[in-house]
Amino acid sequence: MAADGWKAYDAMRERSMDGTYDLDTHAFKLALFLSTSDAATLGVANSDLAHLTNQHANANGYTTGGIALTTVWTISTATMTFDYTNSPVWTAAGGSIVARFGVLFNDTHASDGLMCMTTLDNAPADVTVTTGNTLTVDANASGVFTLTGMT
């Protein structure tokens, strides 16, 4: 199983550029969504966490609202990278955790503003983690996203 790359919500592009999101100081989380969710709809209609449908239920080792990330915004010459250093891990308990999408959002923003999403299995298929097993969402070695300067 391999996850897809991250895809940016329109809200992230706008809010990051106009200063609404502070990639250095704001808190970010990763939440899980079902295959029936509209989490893969990246347009302006989905700008905040409450706009998305069908987050995984608060059960079986998953807590609604996701897991807090330790994020890093680094700048090196003309390259800027947004990444997280703690891979979120959910341990299924009392039943399976089944999810299709991971959604990264700005927990500091008043309405939990959306950043980006990934399909957890690029088939695409649901990812099912049975009781006693874990689901870990690692960031790509190159980070969640990278911006490069113009020359």
Three-state SS string over 33-90 comes to: ECCCCCCCCCCCCCCEHHHCCCECCCCCCCCCCCEEECEEEEEECCEEEEEECCCCEE
Residue pair 109/26 in contact (Cβ under 8 Å)? The answer is yes
pLDDT of residue 122: 87
Distances from the Cα of 114 to the Cα of 1, 88, 109, 139, angstroms: 25, 17, 9, 17
Q: Max CA-CA distance within the chain?
A: 55
Q: Which long-range contacts (CB under 8 A, 24 or more apart) does 34-39 make?
A: 34/98, 34/99, 34/100, 34/101, 34/126, 35/100, 35/101, 35/124, 35/126, 37/100, 37/101, 39/100, 39/101, 39/103, 39/117
pLDDT at 1: 54
- Kindly state the DSSP code that residue 93 receives in the 8-state scheme: -
pLDDT for 118: 94
Spatial contact of 80 and 46, defined as CB atoms under 8 Å apart: no
pLDDT for 43: 83
pLDDT, averaged in runs of 10, over the chain (151 residues):
83 91 95 97 90 96 97 89 95 98 95 94 94 94 84 55
3-state secondary structure of 129: strand
